[in-house]
Chains A and B, each alone.
Chain A
Amino acid sequence: MNAVTGLEEKLRGTFRYLAEGQPEGTLHGALLTSPLAHATIRRLDVSAARSLNGVHAVVTAADVPSDFLMGTAILDRPPLARAKVRFQGEPIAAVAAETKAIADAALALIAFELEPLPIVSAPRDALDEGAAKLHDSGNLCSDFIYSRGDARADFEDCAHVIDHTLTTPRQVPAAMELEGGICIPSPTGIELRAATHSPFYTRSLIASMLGLPDKEVRVIGSPIGGSYGGKEEIHIQPVLALLAWTARRPVRLVLERSQSMAFATTRHPFEIALKIGCDRAGRLLALTADVLVDNGAYASFGPEVLDTGMECIQSAYAFKSVSLRGRLAYTNNGVGGAFRGFGALQTLTAIELAVDILARKASIDPLAFRRINLAGANDPGPLGQAIIPQPELSKVADALSALPVWRDETPSQRYLSGTGYALVRKGEGFAGGGPNGASGVLALTLDGQVTFQSSLVEMGQGLESTVRNILLASFDLGDADICCATGSSDAGADSGPTSASRGTQIALRLIRAGKMPFLEKLYVGAAEILQVPMDALRLGPGGFYQRMAPQNKPDLSLSDLAASAGEIVTRIDIPGIETTQAGVKVHTLFTACAARAGVRIDRWTGQVVCTGLDLLPACGPPISPLAFHGQMTGAGAQALGFCLTEHQPYEEGTVMARNFDSYFIPTIADVPDINVHPVTWLAPDDPVGIRGAGEIGLNAAAPAIANAVASALDAAPTHLPVRPEWVLGVLARQGRTP
């Protein structure tokens, strides 16, 4: 079975992504973006641009309802800058014209004046008394406070205490497919073809912006040419929809890479100050954490990212007492948002580094130290919430200990090598209050196929192949009898976002829940047509067979059944797996994973190379093994980028990396062979039976790589990505430079 559907078409270039294959007469869309990071818009005059021949639409904030704002928990972002710009690259106006040349000429005719405001370039400055405010509400976007037990008192009882502060990079999702799409208006509505993780959510957002009823907006959100969370955000869809609706002509708008590097939402940089301590036996007693997050200019998913990061900061360990504080500050540094790992990656990397430092201090082997402190199978969750028990945690620790030993790097004058471990867990799906429930449809379509329809999206993760495997395992049917329809608001049932590693879990639970009622409808229909009792029938490849007279061919094919009975449809709704605890949003379902990484450090240049990576995800038996493997290896490479190569720096609000000549995503030469060792055991009574594969590999791989650097250098990284200059500085201080 393929890892992904359409593999050959993808390779041969005949596979169509959403911004490709535009209809005849499609206009070219282009954006005017802000050159300044923080400014008041004093004047914006588009009249000359509008009257240019060949221009069909010029839109600004004046064309958007004045109360229309975007966001999740906090609505604070206009699709086109209104009165103020808050980051460099923020769209101010957009045009749709007959050619690119005309669109560019129109942009040049837009007269605008920006009056600079003081730039808030670091989260710490943002929270200072006299800092310039990005929003009227102030620069503290959200915060998080939680404590359990008396950490201060427990530190008194500790035999060993360490502090460590880690600053993490602004990692850019940088999918190969740029943000963009095509929008086709009709007299009464629009069809929007642009990547999204949530077709229904996007539909209602765009409909409300345009003042249209939902049903007049059709959103096709997949296939996607890579997202990793980046296209979970509303990106350019509102501007594109506005252009097409205004021009009354189809419009195609695709960002250029340099625009995307400024505009696309990024992983939030976290500054994580940790203090942890253990007793003589190595038992973790207390943790205090102070976390400061650079949110960028708009809230977006920031508050949820902060909450998830804070929830996961204890990793898989049982601390006696914890005292946690997190703050999310607005700055003029782009916009932070959803990115695979979602806050947990940052805090897990910090805590796993701290755990290793403490283990070393207590002279306990890092694996033994982790085992001593592993949360119990039936312990409550990290914030005291009820969670689905995690007996698999100890199996993951066993598997990590049982890995075959690295072939030892030949020691040399020039290179240092190190091995690092991590054992983590992260909440899956949405925290209490999020859209955890989902709907889908099982249908026998008129062409005789059993089809699972959902609004889950395919972005290369292999959702469609996974759904096909679930269908084949659920119904005794052949490959030609099944179909998976994804990715659009046509589904007739909102499955919620394809994010937070929930896609596979949701699909599995929906199909499981719908199977019996759907089968019953099929059997009733077949029995009526064949005039036999239901229990004389059996569903098999191609259709229904009479049990008494075994045949090579079905007695009633699925298409004949559909032809006589019409479309047979079962709508399925499942509730969320969630709990809410007063004041704090928490997860119920957790996924565990361990990792081991090897690095080699060049003492002459300070360069760090990742030489090996093992991932041990405890996700239950993979439904689609190749896709599962691909999720893990892909996550490993992104973790490597997070630790060693990727960062979007801002200087006084100016974007410093505008393309792949200054922003380095790992190449094949940077990534070692990544070994995946699935830990397939989950408790027999586990209520879900699988865990999502999307994020967990990243969350374990990054701290393992960071710990490998720490073990090679005998010094834990304070900033990621690890810079050669920092490595050389450490070696110089240790008197180890050659």
Chain B
Amino acid sequence: MRISFTLNGEPQNRQVNPFDKATSILAEQCGQESVKTSCAIGRCGACTILVDGKSANACLLIAAKMDGTDVVTAEGLGARADAIIDRLRQNGAIQCGYCAPGLLISLVALLERAPDGDKLERQELETVLAGNLCRCSGYTALRKAILALSS
């Protein structure tokens, strides 16, 4: 079947098979290597993308479901992510970086959702980010960076 969607603002028209996952279409056909596959069962968050503004695990998404949606990957975040990246840099929150694009998407979704001036609670941050595994960092610098950013 053919599907059309926008990817980072660009219209796409792709031939997909019924069993294709969004991960393989985005990474292999659309060259979005930011969409990584690590667990492929929705546990690690390495494949996180935005679909119509909400974060989603691409590995759990049937490619056909992207039809008619607006998809954003870490590669397409542009200036939306500048402030977050700055904080993560200052705190040294990223190491090998394999988790990083998925993490960045989750953070953008989380911080853009929080109404202006609303302070992000530690528990909310942890609940949302528990779906983004990072094996390197121990999360300490990440938590510090983001809680400070939102306050």
Known: A13-B33, A634-B137, A659-B43. A668 touches B94 (CB 8 A): no
B38 contacts A13, C-beta separation under 8 Å: no
Instruction: List A604-634 residues whose CB lies under 8 Å from chain B.
Output: 626-627, 629-630, 632-634
Question: What is the number of residues of chain B that contact chain A, defined by CB distance less than 8 Å?
Answer: 52
Closest Cβ of chain B to A670, distance in Å, is 8
Cα–Cα, bound, A535→B136 (Å):
48
Known: A178-B38, A461-B95, A634-B95. A667 touches B133 (CB 8 A): yes
Could you say which of B34, B134, B138 contacts A12, with CB atoms under 8 Å apart?
B34
Closest Cβ of chain A to B103, distance in Å, is 8
Closest Cβ of chain B to A642, distance in Å, is 13
A328 in contact (CB, < 8 A)? no
A3 in contact (CB, < 8 A)? yes
Cα–Cα, bound, A224→B136 (Å):
12
Closest Cβ of chain A to B119, distance in Å, is 18
Could you say which of A6, A20, A21, A661 contacts B97, with CB atoms under 8 Å apart?
A6
Residue of A nearest to B123 (CB): A669
Could you say which of A14, A176, A630 contacts B135, with CB atoms under 8 Å apart?
A176
Closest Cβ of chain B to A231, distance in Å, is 11
A636 contacts B138, C-beta separation under 8 Å: yes
A477 in contact (CB, < 8 A)? no
Cα–Cα, bound, A16→B97 (Å):
10
A668 contacts B34, C-beta separation under 8 Å: no
B38 contacts A669, C-beta separation under 8 Å: no
Cα–Cα, bound, A718→B64 (Å):
51
A660 in contact (CB, < 8 A)? yes
Cα–Cα, bound, A320→B141 (Å):
43
**Chain A residues with CB below 8 A from B104, complex form:** 11-13
Q: Which of A13, A627, A659 has the most CB of B within 10 A?
A: A13
Closest Cβ of chain B to A326, distance in Å, is 29
Known: A11-B88, A223-B96, A257-B38. A176 touches B44 (CB 8 A): yes
Instruction: List B81-120 residues whose CB lies under 8 Å from chain A.
Output: 81, 85, 88-89, 91-92, 94-101, 103-104
B142 in contact (CB, < 8 A)? yes
Closest Cβ of chain A to B101, distance in Å, is 4
Residue of B nearest to A660 (CB): B43
Question: What is the number of residues of chain A that contact chain B, defined by CB distance less than 8 Å?
Answer: 55
Could you say which of A10, A13, A629, A667 contacts B94, with CB atoms under 8 Å apart?
A10
Closest Cβ of chain A to B36, distance in Å, is 8
Known: A12-B104, A257-B39, A669-B127. A635 touches B138 (CB 8 A): yes
A175 in contact (CB, < 8 A)? yes
Mark each residue of chain B from 62 to 94: 1 if its CB lies under 8 Å from any CB of chain A, else 0: 000000000001110100010001001101101
A136 in contact (CB, < 8 A)? no
Cα–Cα, bound, A4→B89 (Å):
9
Cα–Cα, bound, A225→B96 (Å):
5
Instruction: List A1-45 residues whose CB lies under 8 Å from chain B.
Output: 2-4, 6-8, 10-17, 20-21
**Chain B residues with CB below 8 A from A342, complex form:** none
Could you say which of A4, A257, A665 contacts B95, with CB atoms under 8 Å apart?
A4
A13 contacts B44, C-beta separation under 8 Å: no
A398 in contact (CB, < 8 A)? no
A220 in contact (CB, < 8 A)? no
B30 in contact (CB, < 8 A)? no
Closest Cβ of chain B to A134, distance in Å, is 30
Could you tell me the dominant secondary structure of chain B's interface residues?
loop
Cα–Cα, bound, A135→B131 (Å):
42
Known: A633-B141, A668-B129, A674-B138. A226 touches B96 (CB 8 A): yes
Mark each residue of chain B from 7 to 47: 1 if its CB lies under 8 Å from any CB of chain A, else 0: 00000000000000000000000001111111111011010
**Chain A residues with CB below 8 A from B92, complex form:** 2-4, 626-627, 629-630
Cα–Cα, bound, A277→B97 (Å):
47
**Chain A residues with CB below 8 A from B73, complex form:** 13
B138 contacts A176, C-beta separation under 8 Å: no
Could you say which of A3, A4, A224, A665 contacts B133, with CB atoms under 8 Å apart?
A665
A17 contacts B98, C-beta separation under 8 Å: yes
Could you say which of A14, A174, A630 contacts B34, with CB atoms under 8 Å apart?
A14
Could you say which of B95, B96, B135 contacts A174, with CB atoms under 8 Å apart?
B135
A7 contacts B94, C-beta separation under 8 Å: yes
Cα–Cα, bound, A258→B144 (Å):
33
Could you say which of A7, A223, A634, A636 contacts B88, with CB atoms under 8 Å apart?
A7
B142 contacts A13, C-beta separation under 8 Å: no
A462 in contact (CB, < 8 A)? yes
**Chain A residues with CB below 8 A from B36, complex form:** 176-177
Residue of B nearest to A223 (CB): B96
A637 contacts B138, C-beta separation under 8 Å: yes
B140 in contact (CB, < 8 A)? yes
Mark each residue of chain A from 661 to 673: 1 if its CB lies under 8 Å from any CB of chain B, else 0: 1000101110101
Closest Cβ of chain A to B106, distance in Å, is 10
A123 in contact (CB, < 8 A)? no
A11 contacts B98, C-beta separation under 8 Å: no
B143 in contact (CB, < 8 A)? yes
A459 in contact (CB, < 8 A)? yes
Closest Cβ of chain A to B15, distance in Å, is 14
A256 in contact (CB, < 8 A)? yes
B5 in contact (CB, < 8 A)? no
A221 in contact (CB, < 8 A)? no
Instruction: List A644-665 residues whose CB lies under 8 Å from chain B.
Output: 659-661, 665
B33 contacts A20, C-beta separation under 8 Å: yes
Known: A626-B91, A668-B129. A225 touches B41 (CB 8 A): no
B40 contacts A257, C-beta separation under 8 Å: yes
Known: A257-B39, A460-B96. A21 touches B136 (CB 8 A): no
Could you say which of B39, B97, B135, B139 contacts A659, with CB atoms under 8 Å apart?
B39
Residue of B nearest to A627 (CB): B92
The 5 lowest CB-CB distance pairs between A and B, nearest first, are A13-B34, A460-B96, A10-B97, A626-B92, A633-B138
- In the complex, 12 of the A-B residue pairs with CB atoms within 8 angstroms, ordered by the A residue number, are A2-B92, A4-B96, A6-B97, A13-B74, A13-B100, A17-B98, A175-B98, A176-B134, A634-B138, A636-B140, A659-B39, A660-B133
Chain B contacts to A: CB under 8 angstroms: 32-41, 43-44, 46, 73-75, 77, 81, 85, 88-89, 91-92, 94-101, 103-104, 125-127, 129-144
Apart from the given pairs A6-B97, A626-B91, 12 other A-B contacts in the complex at a CB distance below 8 Å: A12-B74, A13-B34, A225-B98, A228-B135, A626-B141, A629-B92, A636-B138, A660-B133, A667-B129, A667-B133, A669-B126, A669-B129
